[in-house]
Homo-oligomer: A and B are copies of this chain.
């Protein structure tokens, strides 16, 4: 099965305690689409400006990503600038320039409309709704979000949740959206708002997946002794997850398939943070993914 990925495409300036880099490929759809392409065919929807480097488009093409839904608009590409502090668990946005993204209206090519797996990577809930309005009964819809939308578009986000099969968000956002300090209660409270499944990302501490009834899956992160740039870790996680979910066999997409997808997302995200931007994903090959996957299973095995 193939995966439709919609989200932002950006040029990022990033500062970490050790380094500073400019004009990097970024955005939730960039990370999400490239990550998903490790496991399944991907169709991408997004917008860039005329200044968007051809090399970045080449990278996506080289991953076999269908770019028919990529709009190249007059003007400049969306820009984000951020800085990571201390142990890199704290991030501050330095500046945002929406540019062409301001007028973005996702417009799905005819051939995208019956894509079975839909990943609504992190963008405004309004745009996520617009995409869902254009797809024909997808088999599984995944939505990622962020604190910004909880703050400024809470109602539209809440309206999105019943349209979603899996909601992905981080621990702080789960607490913020539900008012529950306890993460297990927060996850369950989110399910009541609509999504059948909820994945709570905890960065260096791994992930919690909430399924039907009392079903729950808890996994640690892949241990890394060096992180160069955490940008896009969550988007890569969501993309890898969506891409692997699209390989689910005839038994369908239930809790066991989601667990396996989360494991793949965790492994891809662990590679992503080893370099700036998508540089590690660019050189990554499938055999390296399989090797780390085996290592991860060994590191976290309880029996």
Contacts and interface: CB of A to CB of B under 8 A. Distances in A.
A303 interface: yes
Interface stretch (A37-45, A108-116, A293-301): A293-301
Interface stretch (A61-69, A161-169, A200-208, A239-247): A200-208
Chain A, interface size category, equals: 20 to 34
Interface string A178-206: 00011111001000000000000010111
Contacts of A225: 182, 184-185, 188
A301 B224 CA distance: 20
A216 B299 contact: yes
A299 B204 CA distance: 19
Nearest to A208: B223
A226 B300 contact: no
A86 B218 contact: no
Q: Which of A202, A302, A303 has the most CB of B within 10 A?
A: A302
A140 interface: no
22 contacts: A86-B181, A87-B181, A182-B225, A183-B223, A184-B223, A184-B224, A185-B226, A202-B205, A205-B220, A206-B220, A208-B223, A216-B223, A217-B299, A217-B300, A218-B299, A218-B300, A219-B300, A219-B302, A220-B220, A263-B302, A296-B302, A301-B301
